[in-house]
Copies of this chain bind each other. A is one copy, B any other.
Amino acid sequence: MNDTITLLQQHRSIRKFTKDPVTAEQLDAILAAAQQASTSSNMQAYSVIGITDKALRSELAKLAGNQVYVEESPVFLVWCADLYRWEQAAGRHYEGEMPSTTENFIIGTVDASLAAQNAAVAAESLGLGIVYIGGIRNQPQRVSELLQLPQHVYPVFGMCIGVPDQAPLDRPRLPRSAVYFENTYKLDNLSSAIDAYDETLSAYMKARSNGKADTTWSQAMAGKAGPVRIHMRSFLQKQGFKLE
């Protein structure tokens, strides 16, 4: 329908980059797009940390699960939910104890995500590729120490940006009927939608692995059912998020 929609619909994560740099002008446009994203009551409850130091990058790559693209991508950003700045601003006029609610935790997490997704779209519009790095939550305490994050700031995810050096297949998504409903959540068709998507994804895995793997979606999802990053709650509380 237009170039932007084509761009959005063609997104795929890029995990291999050429040595070409991301220019200062490109990074500036990417960050300007991020800053213009919607934000809850103009709180702008996020911060972005660009990791330019090589030793620090190497350490973060290890902490994020030894992902080589975290070390080697031209740009690596850590997107943080940030209620610290808001507290500093509000504290100029507010006498009481500042609340540390689940609501504010949601606001920071959403604000960071909306800004990051604008950055991702801006980068892709410039011919760059990106991948989100959830692995930054593998060892969030150590990441927060390295980045010197103050209380009430936490790293939500990282993002690699660079010129793509691969053209991965488009991974099919869930059928629309499993994701979008009118007026009320529909339970009726879920089981058959999972059946259908299991088949689709198994075929995709076969194509991507040259026949070596045929994991279905529900099998892949079962792999996430064990104790994954169960430290997040205690980490967040150390970081000052009471989640009241």
Contact = CB atoms under 8 A, between A and B. Distances in A.
B89 A221 contact: yes
Contacts of A153: 185
Contacts of A7: 4
A224 B121 contact: no
Please give the count of copies of this chain that the complex contains: 2
Contact of A180 (B2, B40, B48, B146): B48
Interface residues of A, number: 114
Interface in A108-133: 109-110, 113-114, 116-118, 120-122, 125-126, 130-132
A243 B132 CA distance: 23
Contact of A117 (B37, B90, B171, B225): B37
Interface in A164-196: 171, 173-174, 176, 178-185, 187, 190-191, 194
A1 interface: yes
